[in-house]
Every structure is written in C-alpha cells, then in structure tokens.
Amino acid sequence: MKTLSFLLQKEFKQIFRNPTLLRLIIAVPIIQLMILPLAADYEIKNINLAVVDVDKSRYSEELIQKITASGYFVNIGTTTSFDEAFSWIEEDKADLILEIPENFERNLIRENKERLFMAINAINGVKANMGGAYLGQIIQSYNAEVRMEWIPDTKVPPMPTISISSLNWFNPSLNYDFFMVPGILVFLVTMVGTYMTALNIVKEKEVGTIEQINVTPIKKLHFTLAKLIPFLVIGIFVFTLGLFIVARLVYGIVPAGNIGMIYAYLFLYLISVLGVGLLLSNYSQTQQQAMSLAFFFVMIFLLMGGLFTSIDAMPLWAKWIAYLNPVSYFIDFMRLVVMKGSTFADVKHHFMVICGFAVFFNTWAVISYKKTS
Amino acid sequence: MYDVELNHITKTYENGAVQAVKDVSFGVKKGELFGLIGPDGAGKTSIFRMLTTLLIPDSGTASVNGFDVVEDFREIRKRVGYMPGKFSLYQDLTVEENLEFFATVFNTSIEENYDLIKDIYVQIEPFKKRRAGKLSGGMKQKLALSCALIHRPTVLFLDEPTTGVDAVSRKEFWEMLRRLKEQGITILVSTPYMDEAALCERIALIQNGSILSINTPQEIINSYPKPLYAIKAHKMSALLHALRDSNLVDSAFSFGEWHHITLQDSVTAEQLKVSLQAEFPTVQMEAIEPGIEDCFIQQSLAQHEVEL
C-alpha cells in the first residue's frame, strides 16, 4: 500500500508538471462540448429553393409565400423558365426546384386536380430527402386550405381524413443538443482512458525509466495500478466537468435518471477503457506507435458507437461491430438515463456487458504484458 | 567465493539470428572493481541486463550475491544498483524528488544512507530543486549514480557510465568509484574506453559476444607476446602502407601520433629502420610498453585467426 501511494504521488506530480496535459484535461471537454453538438446537428434548415412560376396567379403566390414562411426554405429566386432554375442548381445556388405549371389555379378549381413538379439535387441525400418531405407536407396543408375554401357547405359530409397528431416524449422540443451532449461526454472519457493512459505508460518505455523501475523491488501490479488510477480520477473529473458545468449551464441538461448510477457505470466503463489503454501500451514501444494505434481504435469505437449515426440503421455486419464496442453501450446508457430517466432494471443489460468488457480487456492486457516483458 | 558469477551464458536475439553473448563465463570477487572492456556491440549491455534480471539468458547460469538471476530475481532486485547507459531518471522530477523516489522504492530514506552518497551528492545538491532533465551531462551522471546507490546496494552495475561525459568528469567519476570500492561495494563497470581499463582491478576484454581474456590490467599487458614499437615519420599514411607491405613487419596499427608495430620473428628494430630510411628519412622508432588497446587488438586478431 505504501509503495502504491508513493507511486501515485509521483504520477500526479508528473501530470501536474505537464502544462500541456493539464490544459488539455480542462479545456478539451469544455471546447468539444461547445463545438461538436453544432457540427452534429441533423436538422435541415436553409434549403435553397428556386421557384418556376409559370402561372403567376393568386394561388401560386400564396403557395410560395406559405413555403418561405415555414422557415425551412430560402427562396433564392422566382423565374418562368425551368432551364434558368436548373442552371441555379448547376451553380449550386439552389437545392430544390418547384415548378408551378401554367393554369395551375384554373385547373385546380375547374378540374379539382393539378400536378406540381419538384426537382431535387440529391448529392446530399439527407438534405434532399428532408427537403422533399418538408415541401410535400407544406403543399399538402396548402391543399387542405384550398379545399376548405371551396367546400364551405357543412351540409355536405366532409371527406373522411385521418389526421395524425404526435407528442414528443423525453425531448419535447426536439433539441438535438440533448441527444448529442451525453454522447460527447462518453467520447471525452474514452479519449482520456485510451490515449492518455497508453501514452503515459509508453513514455516510460521510450525514455527508458521503465528499465530503472524494473531493477527495483516494485511489483508490476503496483506499477500498473499507479499508472491507471490517475487516469481513472482524471476521467471522472472530465466527466463531472462536462456534465455539471457545460451540459447544465450551457445546454440546460439535467439528468433525469439517478446520478449515482451514472457514476457507477462511468467507473466500470473507465475500468474497461483503461484496460484498452494498457493493452495498446503493451503493443507499442514508442509514443508515436501508441498514438497511431489509439487513433485507429478510438476512431472505429466512436464512429461505430452510435454517436453521430443510429446503430439501428447500420447493416447487420456493422451492427455486430457496434455490439462489440464498449462505447456504444455507454452512449446508449447515457441517453437512456440522462434523457429518459431509465432505472437500473432498464439498463441491467448495459451493466452486465460493460463488466464483461472490463474483465475481457484487462485480462488480455495482463496476459500480453507478461508475454512482452 | 565470487559475488557475481556467470557460467556459459549465451544470449541470442531475433530467434537466434543475432548472437549477442556467446558462452561467457567469469566471476567478480566481493569488493572488486571489475571492468568489462569492449567496443560498441560487443555484448556488454546484454550481459548487464541479464545480471540485473532485465533479460533472461538463453542458456547458462548466472548469480549475483549467490542468488540465481532467473529463480531469485526478486532478491537480486533488492540488492543491486544499476545505472543504465542511457540516462533513465524522471526528467520532469527534480534532483531531490528523483533521489527520494528511489530511496522510498527501496524502503529506505536519503538520511539513512546519506554517508554513502555524500561525496557525490554534495556536488549536485546546490541544484536539488532543478528538474533532472535540465541538468548537464556530468550532473545527470552524478545524480544517476546517487540514485543507484541510495539503497546501499551490495553490487553496483554501471553500464558505460562515462560515455558522452567530458574528460574531467570522467576522471572524477573513476575517483568516486575508487572511494565506493573502499566501502566494500562490488562494482562491475563496462566501458568502450581502453584507457579506463587500467583503473580497474581486473578486466575482461570482450569482442563480438565472446571474452578474449580476463586478468588484471598489468597481467594482460605483460602477456603481450612480442616487443612493441612506436614509429613515426613525416608522411604517416604512406608510412602505414609501407609498414603493412614490408615483410619485416608483423602488424601495424595507427595510434594517433604514432603507429604501433610488431616485427616478424628474428627481425630487429635496426633492420626495419634501415629499410625505411630511403623513403622516410625522418623516421623515428622506439620500443614501448603496450597499452590495453594494443592487447585488445592483438587478442581480437588472434581470435579471428582461430575462428578462420
């Protein structure tokens, strides 16, 4: 115990003497939490719309007005020639063309139907899909208004329609930050557990101090624990800073679930990612190697972890990678507990899996450590 | 009884492709200052790493303080001090913190063994609040030695302690070793500098992983088989070629200002001088006492011939 406490003192001394590392520990969580949610916002706004209005009637005017009033579209110009509108798409000024044909108003009233034409630039698939869907909805609701105008007689029974009204649970205002911030917290903790740990251990190898340590009676277990515990503490610190300072003060996120349970899970998660860090350090001799290895794995862990994209939407083989990825469980856990307020019974599976990961990575790290020394 | 003993130690790297240490055996007596002398790549560091339990030998046995380096490595680690060739203390800790760290690691304190390191430590004490990384080469070396001594080891292993250190510091360093020896500490030191060999009590000459000879420096010099001459003239390079081509000369090597040569059997110095007079009118020649380097060259050539 005495040796361990002494080794820990030495580790903390070294960490606090490294101004770059210290700045990273404090600045990174704050900056990343401020910036990343903006980049990962999938709500599509400001779609550039070009209108080809050949009809130039009251109805077509009203329709265009209604579309721009929705806030999703920016009308970049109205013309009478489709070719001109198309050239705007080619110049990347417009994302979408809506063509209102000649006699739109007349046909709609006389013949009770008329067609509109929509051309969408589909290079950005998400934007194209969403843009098309928004525009369709707006036109439909306009259609309903027109119908109301022409069938005012209540004696005639109205046509049967199904109306859908939805209620958004757990994130009523559909605020994307609420979804992203808990995930980014996981990302930060993962960085600390893998990169920082691996680099710190490999540094001793690279500088040669591990030689000097190995000739002393210090046990490997003590040495390793003294390397891991500081990053466990830093991981918890970074998480706390993110959750209670940035998430609460900047985004107004207050976890709906039990804070104690979140920390219990964080602890188990850190144990498993520290195992990954230890593992990486066993397989590298220099900090450069460790950095490259860590970058490779953390990249996969994060992109396959459901932070930016939904795991449910992945192909089956990719889903399996996500299931073997500790990051995806913590991100899921965080969203469930922070937003939905899930209880232990709901996330029991998450707890079991992360315990499994902790045992798996650390066992592997211990075995490989013996082999390479 | 030997304090450090090696019996037929062999070590290979890269699955046997590189033979670093070949069947090495020697013993170091208690309280002896023993030198392992050889060029870079001779296998000195491998031997040190095996004796300090950092490396496991492929075959053979070795013991330190009577403890086997493989079986009883824990006992050895409590007792020995090791100063690797490369500075390996914590550069971001101060002089004092490094020393304190290594004292605590061995369950002791600076005060307890201060008498042992006093002579060395007083020289760096004015800088004790300075980080180790910011020390000069000579001061780093003194700190490393202090850290290796702080737990009062019975055996001290110093791997090329004077490499990259200036001439004055080197001299000081050997002076420190002599004082440590008086405290009864067994010291095993390696060096590529042949002139330092004379400062050891006994030396082992090592080349390509094999021991050439083990003896006191004086005995090694005495065992030099032939009279040795130093020769010089105005055109040193041409002289060396002429000597090597001459059938009167057995061996000729350049030693800075002079060439060191041995003659074929039954050839006298006068005969050679006469034969060179025409081409090198200023030639000077005198009989000299061989140095360790002469012995090393002679022995490694002799071994090379045996191997051929």
Tell me the per-residue pLDDT of A92-114, one tens digit each, with 9 for 90 and over: 888 889 999 888 888 888 887 88
- Average pLDDT score over residue span A170-180: 78
Contact yes or no for B90 and A17 at CB 8 A? no
Res A158: pLDDT: 62
What is the spatial distance between Cα B180 and Cα B103, in angstroms, rounded to a whole number? 18
Residue B6: predicted pLDDT? 94
Burial A100-132, CB ≥16 within 10 A → b, else e: beeebbeebeeeeebeeeebbbeeeeebbebbb
Q: Which of B72, B38, B56 is nearest to B300 (CA)?
A: B38
**Does A13 sit within 8 Å of B93, measured CB to CB?**
yes
The pLDDT confidence band at residue B75, using thresholds 50, 70 and 90, is: very high
What domains, with CATH codes, occur in chain B?
A: 2-221 (3.40.50.300), 225-289 (3.30.70.2070)
ipTM score:
0.80
Q: What SS3 class is residue B5?
A: strand
Regarding beta strands B186-191 and B33-37, do their DSSP bridges make them parallel or antiparallel, or are they unpaired?
A: parallel
A1 touches chain B (CB under 8 A): no
| A3 vs B contacts (CB less than 8 Å) | 104-105
Q: Does B110 touch chain A (CB under 8 A)?
A: no
Round to whole Å and give the CA distance between A75 and A72.
10
> CA B233, CA B272: separation in Å to the nearest integer?
13
Q: pLDDT tens for residues B235-283? A: 888 899 999 988 889 999 998 889 999 998 888 888 888 888 888 888 8
User: B144: nearest CA in chain A?
Assistant: A212
The domain spans of chain A are 2-40+174-372, 47-150
**Banded model confidence at residue A354, pLDDT cuts 50, 70, 90:** very high
Better-predicted residue by pLDDT, B48 or A44: B48
Average pLDDT, stretch A325-344? 91
Which of A209, A215, A217 has its CB closest to that of B54? A215
Q: Does the CB of B141 have a partner CB in chain A at under 8 Å?
A: no
Contact B52 A215 (CB under 8 A): yes
In CATH terms, the superfamily for domain A47-150 is abc type-2 transporter like domain (3.40.1710.10)
Q: Do B88 and A209 touch (CB under 8 A)?
A: yes
pLDDT at residue A373 is higher than 50: no
Cross-chain Cβ contact B89/A212 below 8 Å: yes
* CB-closest option in B87, B92, B97 to A18: B92
Looking at the complex, does the CB of residue A218 fall below 8 Å from at least one CB of chain B?
A: yes
Count other C-beta atoms under 10 Å from residue B15's C-beta: 6
pLDDT of res. A169 = 82
- pLDDT score of A201 more than 60: yes
- Nearest CB among B82, B89, B104 relative to A215 is that of B82
Give me the mean pLDDT over the A257-275 stretch: 95
Contact B88 A211 (CB under 8 A): yes
* Residue B222, phi then psi, degrees to nearest 5: -65, -30
Distance from CA of A44 to the nearest CA of B (A): 50
Q: Which of A179, A213, A152 shows the shortest CA–CA distance to A334? A: A179
Token code pair at residue B16 = 């046997």
Q: What is the pLDDT of residue B112?
A: 92
Residues of A in contact with B87 (CB under 8 A): 208
Q: If DSSP codes are grouped into helix, strand and coil, which group holds residue B128?
A: coil
pLDDT tens-place string over residues B27-56: 999 999 999 999 888 999 999 999 999 999
Identify the residue among B91, B104, B108, B110 best suited for mutation to test binding to A, counting A beta carbons within 10 A and taking the highest: B104
By the CB < 8 Å criterion, does A323 face chain B? no
Q: Do B105 and A217 touch (CB under 8 A)?
A: yes
pLDDT of residue A351: 95
Structure confidence at residue A155 as a pLDDT band (50, 70, 90): low
pLDDT band at B134 (very low <50, low <70, confident <90, very high): very high
**Residue among B80, B86, B104 whose CB faces A6 most closely:** B104
For residue B157, the distance in angstroms to the closest alpha carbon of chain A comes to 11
Q: What is the DSSP string of B49-110?
A: HHHTTSS--SEEEEEETTEETTTTHHHHHHHEEEE-SS--S-TTSBHHHHHHHHHHHTT--T
pLDDT in tens, A204-223: 999 889 888 988 988 888 89
- Tell me which chain A residues have a C-beta less than 8 angstroms from the C-beta of B154: none
Task: Say how far apart CA A22 and CA A40 lie, in whole Å.
Answer: 27
- For the stretch B207-228, pLDDT in tens is 999 999 999 999 999 999 989 9
Q: Is the pLDDT of residue A229 over 90?
A: yes
pLDDT at residue B261, as a whole number = 92
Distance from the A369 Cα atom to the nearest Cα atom in chain B, whole angstroms: 14
